[in-house]
Amino acid sequence: MQLAKKHFVVGMTGGIAAYKVCELVRRLQDEGASLQVVMTDGAQQFITAMTMQALSGRSVETDQWKSLTGNAMPHIELTRNADAVIVAPATADFLAKLAHGLADDLLAALALARDRVRTPLIVAPAMNVEMWGNPATQRNVAQLRDDGIVILGPASGAQACGETGVGRMLEAHELLEDIVAFFQPKTLAGKKVLLTAGPTFEPIDPVRGITNLSSGKTGFAVARAARDAGARVTMIAGPSALGTPRNVERVDVTTGKQMMDAVLSHLPADVFIAVAAVADWHVSNQSARKIKKTATSTPPALQFALNPDILATVAALPSAPYCVGFAAESDDVIDNARRKLGTKKVPLMVANRAQDAFGADRSELSLIDQEGVMTLPNDDKLAQARRLIAEISARLR
């Protein structure tokens, strides 16, 4: 549970995107958060208070003058134990209220009266493309950013009005990812992280090739964890169907040579993490046509050549980043990883047992450096990635 023990005030204003907040509330609770929903009159034109009460598990506040709080001061009381106020959807009208300090309803008043140090304000705008692009709205948004208000989105896409463009509220899963990221320690703020993820695929002919069982889950989790820690992240990804973590630059490649070229073209970086399971060899005599099988044919004689060693190459550069390698081994995991630490000449190697880790959602990792071995107990891959990023951050400091 990534938001365990967090308490949020979830404010809803009047927009068709209010239906997405129903899912957002459930997702926040699934991550361990408790919620107090506050709805404006406009919000209740789209979603009823009873619906939000059923979803949140507590009475919904809708009126400054008919509050359920004991002291009849909901604009003060509701935020004093909140870890954040989240407003979704946030209409153009509500953004204008925030920018100019208006407090003519309960939600606007509590946003104004919150403790700005202890209780951040996070808003998810939702409006028509022309409303979002209007200079007045953009002035208000610029002012809100200057005031320290966190703005998530909006996205571009089809809108309920039938038009297309920027102004669409982020989806519930996107908002959840950004909210979780907001609360992660920003130990890599200002740093650039370059990493590789997934398998590579070395062609034999136009339809066959040599690859491995890596799913990319660990690399993608590390990319997200680094992004959540405040880094600018570029991920060079081998063939993988996984979705790109938000706000991570993804470069898709196929072969080990392509991965090497992409890595070198995206340097310099402060940190390089070689998570990808890169094929050690490629087929040097690959066929331009599909190799056909006949009743009398013999298996093709494949010739192999070494692929470039991406990690060792980057580590040997004159201005090398802090380099972290991954060793996916089938046996003698720690001993093999120690050897790689020396031959690659890197400060940190991360080892796991390949047959347990490839394709799995959980893993056990061992961190090997010159001081010894640290084992991260079996856990989900995002949790492991966050621990790894914390270790890298500590070593950078």
Q: Profile the chain (397 residues) by mean pLDDT over runs of 10 residues.
A: 93 95 96 96 96 95 80 85 96 97 95 95 96 97 97 93 93 96 95 96 93 91 96 96 93 96 97 94 91 83 92 95 87 84 91 77 87 86 93 92
Rounded (5°) CA angle 76-137-97:
20
Which residues does the annotation mark as catalytic? 161
Domain boundaries 7-182, CATH class: alpha beta
| Residue in 148, 95, 98 with CA at minimum distance from that of residue 126 | 95
CATH T-level fold of 192-396:
Rossmann fold (3.40.50)
Q: Domain ranges for the chain, please list them.
A: 7-182, 192-396
Of the CA atoms within 13 Å of residue 79, those in its CB half-sphere come to 26
Same fold, 7-182 and 192-396: yes
Reported as type and span, the H/E element at residue 22 is: helix 18-30
Contact (CB, 8 A) for 23 and 172: yes
The strand ranges marked E within the chain are 7-12, 34-39, 84-90, 121-125, 150-151, 155-158, 164-168, 192-197, 202-205, 208-210, 232-237, 249-252, 271-274, 281-283, 304-306, 322-329, 348-353, 362-369, 372-380
Amino acid in position 226:
A
Query: Quick one: pLDDT at residue 159?
Result: 87
pLDDT at 102: 95
CA dihedral 260, 264, 265, 267 (to 10 degrees): 140
Strand partners, 339: none
Name which of 236, 242, 224 is nearest 311 in CA terms. Answer: 236
pLDDT of residue 297: 79
